Amino acid sequence: GAVVSQHPSWVICKSGTSVKIECRSLDFQATTMFWYRQFPKQSLMLMATSNEGSKATYEQGVEKDKFLINHASLTLSTLTVTSAHPEDSSFYICSARETGGSFYGYTFGSGTRLTVV
């Protein structure tokens, strides 16, 4: 079945540095990918919708300059947390929808645990 690889699975970085998280669809093309953030014991909150070849659509309250999203190919979307601070520590999850596939064909990555110290 469809597989989405998310890398890294965990990262620790110093405050003020930037961190890039990759989300790859391994065996299908994904025009649309989604980035979520999950706080402990809380729901997944959609941060942005990533569209191949165009600008991402950010949800209300998400800083586009802080969370840079690039979807340069049909199999790769990246999320860069710029100038990270401790409050950015969270679990980030991506999902991809297969181009032309079933409306219900969302595939999720395994998530990235970001800790900013």
Partner 1 sequence: GNSVTQMEGPVTLSEEAFLTINCTYTATGYPSLFWYVQYPGEGLQLLLKATKADDKGSNKGFEATYRKETTSFHLEKGSVQVSDSAVYFCALSKGPGDYKLSFGAGTTVTVRA
Give contact residues for partner 1 (rule: CB under 8 A). Answer: 4, 6, 32, 34, 36, 41-46, 49, 93, 95, 97, 103-104, 106-111
- Whole-angstrom distance, CA of residue 113 vs CA of residue 9: 6
Q: Which residue's CB is nearer to partner 1, number 6 or number 75? A: 6
> Could you tell me the smallest distance in angstroms from the CB atom of residue 62 to partner 1?
13
Q: Which residue's CB is nearer to partner 1, number 1 or number 86? A: 1
DSSP 46: E
Q: Which residue's CB is nearer to partner 1, number 6 or number 78? A: 6
> Could you tell me the smallest distance in angstroms from the CB atom of residue 78 to partner 1?
17
Q: How many CA atoms lie within 13 A of 17 on its CB side?
A: 12
Contact 88, 63 (CB under 8 A): no
Residue with structure tokens 């596939």? 101
Q: Which residue's CB is nearer to partner 1, number 8 or number 16? A: 8
85 token code pair = 């601070």
